[in-house]
Amino acid sequence: MNLDMNSGPLISLNGVNKYYGDYHALRDISAEIGAGEFFSLLGPSGCGKTTLLRAIAGFEEISGGTITLSGKDMAGVPPNLRPTNMVFQSYAIFPHLSVEQNVGFGLRKSGMGAANKARAIGAALDMVGLGHLGGRAAHALSGGQRQRVALARALILKPKVLLLDEPLSALDRKMREDMQVELMKLQREVGITFVLVTHDQEEALVMSDRIAVMFEGEIAQLADPEELYRRPATKRVADFIGVMNFLPAQAGERLEVAGLGPVDLEGVISPQGAVSGACSVGLRPETLSLLYDGETARSREVRGVVDEVVYYGDMTYYDVRLDGLEAPVRLSMRNTVGRDVLDVGAQARVGWDPRAMVVFPD
Amino acid sequence: MAQGLSRDARQGLTIVSPALIFALLLLAFPLLTIIAFSFWTQNFLEIDRTFTLENYSEALTDPLYRALMMRSLRIAASVTAVTVVLAFPIAYFISFYVRPEKKAIWLFLITIPFWTSYLIRIFLWRVILAFDGPVNGTLMELGLIEEPLSWILYNANAVVITLAHAFAPFAILPIFVSLEKIDRSLLEAAKDLGEGAVMTFFRVTLPLAMPGVLAAVLIVFIPTVGDYVTPRLVGGSGGTMIANMIYVQIFDLSNRPMGATLAVVAMLTVTITLAWAILHVRFWVHLNDRVGGGIAGLALAGAAAVVDVGILWWLWTNGADWFGPAGVLGVMAAIMAGGAISIAVFLPKGRWGI
């Protein structure tokens, strides 16, 4: 990542609010996005992430607060005069134009001659790997190609910010994973700020420098991917990002975790500060492990019964009912030596580590 | 034979056959009769069934028939232009400004004129446009005119006004449908890429609405060329069209062969005009694309259209002095066929399937 915070943030959101009638779509959003940053807005559908992106682009007028781009207040500035360009969810490729005409659409006012335009269009198409398709009609493109055209069409204008509205959601899994890597490469190459909207937490974790997790029009947490995954600010964020097991617990002198027993509060991650009384303890599946015969836990172990086995090829998920617990906990094992031996109903020993625990007040 | 057809094809034929038989009996048969009559002659009370091209020669060279045919085309073209130009903003308004749940009501309102008979609507226009009618009355009241306008009734203008009103819904609906089909994110994309409202309209909305506009042009133009009732009731002598002459031939002069010939000539004229126009639209669109569209493209395409139509118009009005009344038709046919064939051969099919 090439953050350049010295010159001040590129985008500043200050107390941004948006109402649709009585519906409060954006609640006091404040954030700063730096130049060259890959920033993601992540949340379930209806959380306001797309509204916020459209507000930055200029398609939605905000009801309160300010949006500044390179220090300039964007209030009343229409989308065509903002230094932003957007890749739409549907890609919005003009069906009546060729690929080249689509990519060159925004160059009308650039003052370039025809030869320069053609060169710029060629370069933009090469950048997204479509150099050979310039003359093709836009309606004859596949989903992945349409997306590349949409990227080239936006990047050719050298915007300060590229806004991407769920750009990968229409692609199949394989293509999506390839495009994730390509988008990251592209962003490093052109060095401009990318703001991505997505509901796919994996996509956000893979690509972003920083992620804003949004629920009901509010930013619940703004952090880099590792922080977000390791130290989720709230139980809800923890639940939304990846998989997390929650065990009921009581905090006093020590932390009394149902099914696991007493734990020293020291070393347990506690994002919301010191806890006392009823609370929840979160454990990620990969921090738990099945112990085979002869193996001993690195930290501590507990007994249980295998409730469900979900085989994923590279991994196997086990749902294990721990002694003294109602709901099973999920744990994941890497299948390094073929598929593991335990079947549904088998007795299991589960290794766990207090240092992997995240505790939230109830 | 039935074995050669797939189950689907047989099912399809069964479904269309009632309509097909109906159409064959009531369209094809009368049409063939008319074509047959056009080669015969009226011999007082009898029909002389010797084959002759005499009627065609007269229909194509007699100045009266030629003037009526050309006037019919001109009036239909004016009606089409007026109707489509006025219909577009209405369709645009309904598609872009009316809330989705209100659109059905608006479309319903547009069909209200159909609730009364076509004939009554024409009579109403006769009242509205009359010498002492509400239009003249209001304008005099407002002091905008000193004496009643005489050019709004019993001439070609009255025919254009009345037909434009009658055909408005037929133009609004196809344009509305094509506007509805435009993905709104395309308009946002155009804004995002730096274009304001006007250029977004010319670069995205209008090109994508063209299939609807072309459909509206065909739907309005074809029936208005042969309209009979409107010119009869509001056209006066200056607004008489070819259909009125066909009526006169068949019923007043009892010259059914001549009436049939005029009908065939009118049909051929419409067909040739439209074929010519559609192929030339392909040419004009090609010119537009050549210079990259936008205002420059529209200007070039428009200029080419004016030149193409202008050449034919000049030949029609002045060509007889040079080539004679029959010769000029040959010259025009050669130019039209040459242009159309070279477009069909050398230019690939472009947008909108034409």
Same domain, A82 and A227: yes
Same domain, A228 and A254: no
How far does the CA of residue A25 sit from the closest CA of chain B (Å)?
21
Looking at A235, A258, A289, which one is the last position of a domain?
Answer: A235
**Per-residue pLDDT for A1 more than 60?**
no
With respect to residue B146, please indicate whether it lies within any of the assigned structural domains: yes
DSSP code at position A158: -
Same domain, A164 and A188: yes
**Per-residue pLDDT for A294 more than 90?**
no
Q: Name the residue in chain A with its Cα closest to that of B352.
A: A96
Calculate mean pLDDT across residues A17-36: 95
Rg (CA), chain A: 24
Which DSSP string corresponds to A242-264? S--EEEEEEESSSEEETTTEEE-
**Per-residue pLDDT for A329 more than 70?**
yes
| Interchain contact, B194 vs A108, CB within 8 Å | yes
Q: Give the tens place of pLDDT for each residue, A177-189.
A: 999 999 999 999 9
| Confidence class for position A336, pLDDT limits 50, 70, 90 | confident
How far does the CA of residue B116 sit from the closest CA of chain A (Å)?
41
Same domain, A258 and A296: yes
Q: Which of B188, B193, B208 sits opposite A105 (nearest CB)?
A: B193
**Per-residue pLDDT for B59 more than 80?**
yes
With respect to residue B6, please indicate whether it lies within any of the assigned structural domains: no
Same domain, A230 and A303: no
| Torsions phi, psi for A351 (to 5 deg) | -90, 140
Cα separation, B54 vs B195, in Å, equals 61
A121 at B interface, C-beta within 8 A: no
Tell me, what's the pLDDT at A91?
A: 94
Q: Name the residue in chain A with its Cα closest to that of B204.
A: A94
C-alpha dihedral sign at B341, B343, B347, B349: negative
Looking at A235, A254, A289, which one is the last position of a domain?
Answer: A235
**Per-residue pLDDT for A272 more than 60?**
yes
Q: Which residues of chain B lie closer than 8 angstroms to A97, CB-CB? A: 293
Q: Give the tens place of pLDDT for each residue, A98-152.
A: 899 999 999 988 888 889 999 999 999 999 989 888 888 888 899 889 999 999 9
How far does the CA of residue A161 sit from the closest CA of chain B (Å)?
12
How far does the CA of residue A324 sit from the closest CA of chain B (Å)?
55
Same domain, A139 and A175: yes
**Per-residue pLDDT for A312 more than 80?**
yes
pTM of the model: 0.85
A96 at B interface, C-beta within 8 A: yes
Spatial contact of A266 and A310, defined as CB atoms under 8 Å apart: no
Spatial contact of A128 and A23, defined as CB atoms under 8 Å apart: no
Q: Which residues of chain A lie closer than 8 angstroms to B183, CB-CB? A: 90, 92
**Per-residue pLDDT for A3 more than 60?**
no
C-alpha angle A99-A102-A108 in degrees, rounded to nearest 5: 135
3-class DSSP state for residue A11? strand
**Per-residue pLDDT for A7 more than 70?**
no
With respect to residue A202, please indicate whether it lies within any of the assigned structural domains: yes
Q: Where is average pLDDT lowest: B69-73, B262-266, B325-329?
A: B325-329
| Interchain contact, B193 vs A90, CB within 8 Å | no
| Interchain contact, A86 vs B189, CB within 8 Å | yes
Structure tokens at B348: 């690939």
Tell me, what's the pLDDT at B44?
A: 84
Q: Which residues of chain A lie closer than 8 angstroms to B207, CB-CB? A: 96
- CA B312 to chain centroid, in Å, comes to 18
Tell me, what's the pLDDT at A231?
A: 93
With respect to residue A261, please indicate whether it lies within any of the assigned structural domains: yes
With respect to residue A140, please indicate whether it lies within any of the assigned structural domains: yes
* Proportion of chain B above pLDDT 70, given as a percent: 98
With respect to residue A2, please indicate whether it lies within any of the assigned structural domains: no
**Per-residue pLDDT for A358 more than 80?**
yes
Structure tokens at A18: 């948006």
Owning domain of residue A96: 11-235
With respect to residue A3, please indicate whether it lies within any of the assigned structural domains: no
Q: Give the tens place of pLDDT for each residue, B153-193.
A: 999 999 999 999 999 999 999 999 999 999 999 999 999 99
How many independent structural domains does chain A possess? 2
The CATH number linked to B226 is 1.10.3720.10
DSSP code at position A63: S
Q: Name the residue in chain A with its Cα closest to that of B185.
A: A92
With respect to residue A252, please indicate whether it lies within any of the assigned structural domains: yes
Tell me, what's the pLDDT at B71?
A: 94
Q: Which of B185, B188, B351 sits opposite A96 (nearest CB)?
A: B351
Tell me, what's the pLDDT at B320?
A: 84
Q: Name the residue in chain B with its Cα closest to that of A92.
A: B186
Which residues partner with A195 through β-bridges? A39, A163
Q: Name the residue in chain A with its Cα closest to that of B210.
A: A96
Q: Name the residue in chain B with its Cα closest to that of A155.
A: B193
The candidate with the shortest Cα–Cα distance to A109, out of B272, B59, B199, is: B199
With respect to residue A301, please indicate whether it lies within any of the assigned structural domains: yes
Cα separation, A287 vs A295, in Å, equals 16
| Torsions phi, psi for A289 (to 5 deg) | -145, 150
Looking at A197, A218, A235, which one is the last position of a domain?
Answer: A235
| Interchain contact, A92 vs B199, CB within 8 Å | no
With respect to residue A6, please indicate whether it lies within any of the assigned structural domains: no
3-class DSSP state for residue A19? strand
Q: Name the residue in chain B with its Cα closest to that of A59.
A: B188
CB burial string A265-281: b at 16+ within 10 A, e below: beebbbbeeebeeebbb
With respect to residue B7, please indicate whether it lies within any of the assigned structural domains: no
Q: Which of B189, B199, B208 sits opposite A88 (nearest CB)?
A: B189
| Interchain contact, A92 vs B189, CB within 8 Å | yes
Spatial contact of A330 and A244, defined as CB atoms under 8 Å apart: no
| Confidence class for position B121, pLDDT limits 50, 70, 90 | very high
Cβ pairs A/B, distance under 8 A = 60
The CATH number linked to A145 is 3.40.50.300
Q: Which residues of chain B lie closer than 8 angstroms to A92, CB-CB? A: 183, 185-186, 188-189
Same domain, A98 and A211: yes
| Confidence class for position B1, pLDDT limits 50, 70, 90 | very low
**Per-residue pLDDT for B53 more than 80?**
yes
Structure tokens at B280: 């030339």
Task: Specify the length of chain A in residues.
Answer: 362
Same domain, A299 and A328: yes
For chain A, give the mean pLDDT.
Answer: 91
Structure tokens at B103: 């659109």
Owning domain of residue B294: 22-353
**Per-residue pLDDT for B353 more than 80?**
no
Same domain, A119 and A55: yes
Q: Which residues of chain A lie closer than 8 angstroms to B189, CB-CB? A: 86, 88, 92, 94
Please report the ipTM that was assigned to this predicted complex. Answer: 0.85
| Interchain contact, B207 vs A96, CB within 8 Å | yes
Same domain, A108 and A40: yes
Structure tokens at B156: 């070609």
Tell me, what's the pLDDT at A339?
A: 59
- Window 38-57 of A, Cβ < 8 Å to B: 57
Q: Which of A80, A88, A101 sits opposite B185 (nearest CB)?
A: A88
The CATH number linked to A252 is 2.40.50.140
Same domain, A273 and A144: no
When scoring A60, A94, A103, A160 by the number of chain B Cβ atoms within 10 A, the one with the most, hence best to mutate, is A94
Q: Name the residue in chain A with its Cα closest to that of B188.
A: A59
Largest distance between two CA atoms of chain A: 76
| Confidence class for position A4, pLDDT limits 50, 70, 90 | very low
Same domain, A227 and A264: no
| Interchain contact, A96 vs B194, CB within 8 Å | no
**Per-residue pLDDT for A5 more than 60?**
no
Q: Name the residue in chain A with its Cα closest to that of B290.
A: A101
Structure tokens at B162: 């009345």
Task: Specify the length of chain B in residues.
Answer: 354
Tell me, what's the pLDDT at A341?
A: 67
With respect to residue B13, please indicate whether it lies within any of the assigned structural domains: no
Calculate mean pLDDT across residues A242-268: 90
Spatial contact of A316 and A332, defined as CB atoms under 8 Å apart: yes
Spatial contact of B38 and B255, defined as CB atoms under 8 Å apart: no
More confident residue, A138 or A208: A208
Tell me, what's the pLDDT at B3?
A: 61
With respect to residue B16, please indicate whether it lies within any of the assigned structural domains: no
Amino acid at B257: P
For chain B, give the mean pLDDT.
Answer: 91
How many independent structural domains does chain B possess? 1
| Interchain contact, B192 vs A108, CB within 8 Å | no
How far does the CA of residue A239 sit from the closest CA of chain B (Å)?
33
